Amino acid sequence: MATGVAWMLELDILEGQGAGLPALIEEMVGSTRENEPGTLDYQWSISADGTVCHIFERYVDSDAVMAHLGTFGERFAGRFMEMLAPTRFVVYGSPSQEVRDALAGFNPTYMDSAGGFSR
């Protein structure tokens, strides 16, 4: 049974916050890279006009998600939410009920696997 969890989070970059976003991204990417070995992918993208941000994240399992969410809550959530407004959150894979409960405030859409593979 697959245990991986992934998501795509789409956010609006709040007016006047774009200039501070690169420093936050750098700090969050560095922290995740160095301290969360269960994070398989952690990719930020920004639209050409600087108004929309996508974050793609993929985790080995729900425990890795919970580790990430713990760090996010402790270190980054306040600044993140001052700069970004979530508009769409789509979760893939097999998140545990604990993960689903932790993500509930973002009102995610959960997608069931219909076929495919990962390498």
Whose CA is closest to 84, among 105, 53, 113, 45? Answer: 53
pLDDT tens digits along 35-83: 999 999 999 999 999 999 999 999 999 999 999 999 999 999 999 999 9
| pLDDT of amino acid 22 | 96
pLDDT tens digits along 101-115: 999 999 999 999 898
| pLDDT of amino acid 3 | 85
Are the C-beta atoms of residues 30 and 64 closer than 8 Å to each other?
no
CA angle 100, 17, 91 (to 5 degrees): 20
Say whether pLDDT at 1 is over 70: no
Identify the architecture of domain 5-111 in CATH.
2-Layer Sandwich (3.30)
| pLDDT of amino acid 117 | 83
Say whether pLDDT at 30 is over 70: yes
